[in-house]
Amino acid sequence: MTQHRDRSSQTERPDAPADNPVEAPTTDESAGEGGLPADMDYYRASARSGAMMVLATVAIPLAVIVGIVVVLLVAL
């Protein structure tokens, strides 16, 4: 990560917390990005994929429970 000139380093401000979320940059400061705005859309899931994850989270345990109930009813 590069450091902006207007920011003081940790050695200049030893009492400052190392991870201060208030001073979080809004740009990607990695060497390959050159200070361009961070592309956070890459990390966001679409509404459809989110719905599919919720459906899978609910449907799989529900199918297992229904299967167990059916097996128990047939066995009795």
Tens digits of residue pLDDT in 26-66: 655 665 556 666 666 666 667 788 888 899 999 999 999 99
Same domain, 40 and 3: yes
**Average confidence (pLDDT) over 3-20:** 54
Question: Do 9 and 33 share a domain, yes or no?
Answer: yes
Q: For the purposes of burial, counting CB atoms within 10 Å of the CB of 12, is it exposed (0-12), middle (13-18) or buried (19 or more)?
A: exposed
73/51 same-domain check: yes
What pLDDT score does 76 carry?
84
Q: Which of 53, 61, 5 shows the shortest CA–CA distance to 29?
A: 5
The pLDDT, as a whole number, for residue 15 is: 56
For residues 36 and 2, membership in a common domain is answered with yes
Q: What is the pLDDT of residue 13?
A: 57
Instruction: State residue 60's pLDDT score.
Output: 94
Do 3 and 32 reside in the same domain of the chain?
yes
Say if residue 35 is in the same domain as residue 71: no
Domain count, the chain: 2
Residue 69 has pLDDT above 70, yes or no: yes
Same domain as 36, residue 24: yes
73: tokens are 């009813």
Q: In which domain, by residue range, is 49 found?
A: 45-76
